[in-house]
Amino acid sequence: MTQTTPSQIRSIDDLHGPAGRLEALLNTGRDDVPYAALVCHPHPAGGGSMHNKVVYHAMKAFSSFGVPVLRFNFRGVGLSEGTHDDGHGEQDDVLAALNWLEQNLGRPILFAGFSFGSNVGLRACCGDARVKGLIGLGLPVRAEGRDYTYKFLPDCTQPKLFISGDHDQYGPREILEGVFERAPEPKRLVWINGADHFFQGTTDSPGPKLDLMQNEIRSWLQSEFNLS
């Protein structure tokens, strides 16, 4: 793949999963950064896509260190081929994205996902030797009648960062803390005060909290992976 300047956004035309072509964008980074990143979007039923605000802000956190970032639309979203598969086939979409990054950038990978994207992505990335760090944003437990379980997490030994709003309607604090406790070290759990599931403000604490989420990602990347 031809190296480009750090500020460029490239449309990726050769990312294919089992269900067909996956629409994707690559925010290019610096040649001297030792990692690449993958960011996954929330549930399509709620309008989730790679252009989601939380996904965009996570991408910007990685990009601030010159890390190249791949975002893509799950099957059936936007121009991606196939149909939604309730989180099953979407795990194969994540693996296809990891394969693309390995083949085209050849660097260790850092993963971040928001809501549905965090559940699906963690399932696919936990235990994958190519993935060196995992970020779960707004990790869901129950959302719009959909239940999410994390029985796989006790076997997930990569460094993990979980960030949720303390008013997350889809991830109650007491339940998420139980999920976190079952995950092995190294791990970090951060609660954003006055934030809901989408890192927007509450009645008592109005205004978006996306910048706070972004700062926590940057802090973790600096401390865990020595990015600067």
3-state secondary structure 40-77: ECCCHHHCCCCCCHHHHHHHHHHHCCCCCEEEECCCCC
Ordered by where they begin, the domains of the chain are 9-225 (3.40.50.1820)
User: How many other CB atoms are there within 10 angstroms of residue 225's CB atom?
Assistant: 17
The answer to pTM > 0.85 is yes
Q: What is the pLDDT of residues 12-28, one digit of tens each?
A: 999 999 999 999 999 99
pLDDT value, residue 151: 95
Q: What is the pLDDT of residues 99-120, one digit of tens each?
A: 999 999 999 999 999 999 999 9
Q: What is the pLDDT of residues 213-223, one digit of tens each?
A: 999 999 999 99
Dist CA 84 CA 88 (whole Å): 9
Structural element, H or E, at residue 201: none
Looking at the predicted structure, is the pLDDT value of residue 1 above 60? Answer: no
Share of the chain above pLDDT 90, in %: 94
Q: How confident is the model at residue 5 (pLDDT cuts 50, 70, 90)?
A: very low
In the chain, alpha helices (H) = 53-63, 89-104, 116-125, 173-182, 210-225
The pair of structure tokens assigned to 82 is: 């196939």
Q: What is the pLDDT of residues 44-55, one digit of tens each?
A: 999 999 999 999
Contact indicator for 118, 136 with CB cutoff of 8 Å? yes
Nearest to 75 by CA among 88, 61, 63, 65: 88
